[in-house]
Amino acid sequence: MTGDELIERFERGLDPSDSFHHADHVQLAFAYLCKNPVLQALEKFASALKRFAAARGKTQLYNETITCAYLFLIRERMARCEGADWEDFARQNPDLLVWKDGILGRYYKEATLKSDLARAVFLFPDKCG
């Protein structure tokens, strides 16, 4: 499936909620970033995630901090492996595809990411090293 097809299917709500996992989120963010400048990709990606969660009655699962942090991490990695397609990107960046004990643990305390504030607004990293 192409990035455009992935975005279209997601925005139309065609992916069942039980099969849309972390790696799928990363692939979707990658697709938005391939098509749009970073801030526009962030707005479109975040809006699509919110609609997707709301359509499933799970608005509490959306987290602004996690969404922004991952999108910017993905964008940085894309710049480092310029021209890579999704398969190459995923192969070169397996740490981005791990959810449990994933990369955000380097930058954020667990309590911060689970906070209501982190769900509502982007919080800067609060962990050193």
pLDDT tens digits, one per residue of 4-50: 999 999 888 865 555 788 999 999 999 999 999 999 999 999 999 99
Tell me what pLDDT residue 15 has. Answer: 58
Residue 127 placed within a domain: no
Please say whether the beta carbons of 77 and 89 come within 8 A: yes
**Largest Cα–Cα separation, the chain:** 40
pLDDT at 12: 87
How far is residue 70's CA from residue 119's CA, in Å, rounded to a whole number? 14
Structural domains counted in the chain:
1
Would residue 125 count as lying in a domain?
Answer: no
Q: What is the pLDDT of residue 28?
A: 97
- List the domain range (segments joined by +) for residue 19: 3-120
Residue 126 lies in a domain: no
Local confidence band at 129 (pLDDT 50, 70, 90 cut-offs) = low
pTM for this one?
0.93
In a domain, 63, yes or no: yes
* pLDDT at res. 85: 97
